[in-house]
Amino acid sequence: MMMVEVQKNIIAMGGGSFPIQRDLMRLERYALQQLSAKRPKICFVPTASGESPEYVVKFYEAFGHFDAELTHLSFFKPSTNDLADFLLRNDMIYVGGGNTKSMLALWREWGVDQIMHEAWGQGIMLCGVSAGAICWFEEGITDSFPDALTSMKCLGFLSGSSCPHYDGEADRRPSFHRMLQAGQVSDGIALDDGAAVHYRGREIHKIVSSRPDAKAYRLENVSGEVKETALAVDYLG
């Protein structure tokens, strides 16, 4: 019997998705178009925001415009004892922004890091913005610590490092360059607000944007110097 290979997808968004652009939802719409289910099940994971009630409400408001079955995962007001069953029944898991370090610490305590890897292996779309984007890489550039941007180890589903908000926050570009040049972080990808990179397996399938000027870049340390290369982006407008 011929085995059908599972298609593993991750869509990492640099910033500027819902609720900021909930009237457009171009990146989220693109993600949903990759799903085969007619009425997909989508689970929002707001851990990085401290499970902000306002963020959760905005998720339901924004995604309520789609024909989808919506739910969200809470660790502080859990609705299930079986987190694996709760997450693995979905077609898409959407991870929100916030504090990446705190989010991953909580995920590891509850075993959600392993469940996310299982979800990816089963073909469930992993998607997210900011903290929900960098968490899938080996390393991320994060503001989880006060006063300065730093690099941190993440889940390692995707190789290399990642930096969100590349054009949205003044310190992002120089910090990524400095850390890369100093050998504190590995080669990686940077995403402007409104840009998203779609991985199939561990390879880039497509880069899309919700703004015509949003870009993505490949950053490499070449003999101690930073090489920044703009990547091809498809504008979704």
- Tell me the two tokens of residue 97: 């922004």
Contacts of 7 (CB under 8 A, 6+ apart): 123, 200, 201
Query: What single DSSP character describes residue 36?
Result: -
Q: What is the largest CA-CA distance in the chain?
A: 57
Q: Which of 49, 130, 144, 209 is catalytic?
A: 130
Query: How far is 31 from 135, CA to CA, in rounded Å?
Result: 18
Active site residue 177: no
Over the Cα atoms of the chain, what is R_g? Answer: 17
Query: What single DSSP character describes residue 52?
Result: -
Q: Which of 17, 144, 161, 165 is catalytic?
A: 165
Query: How far is 157 from 160, CA to CA, in rounded Å?
Result: 10
CB burial readout 171-202, b (16+ within 10 A) else e:
ebbebbbebbeeeebbbbbbbbbbbbbbbeee
Active site residue 130: yes
Catalytically active residues, by annotation: 130, 165
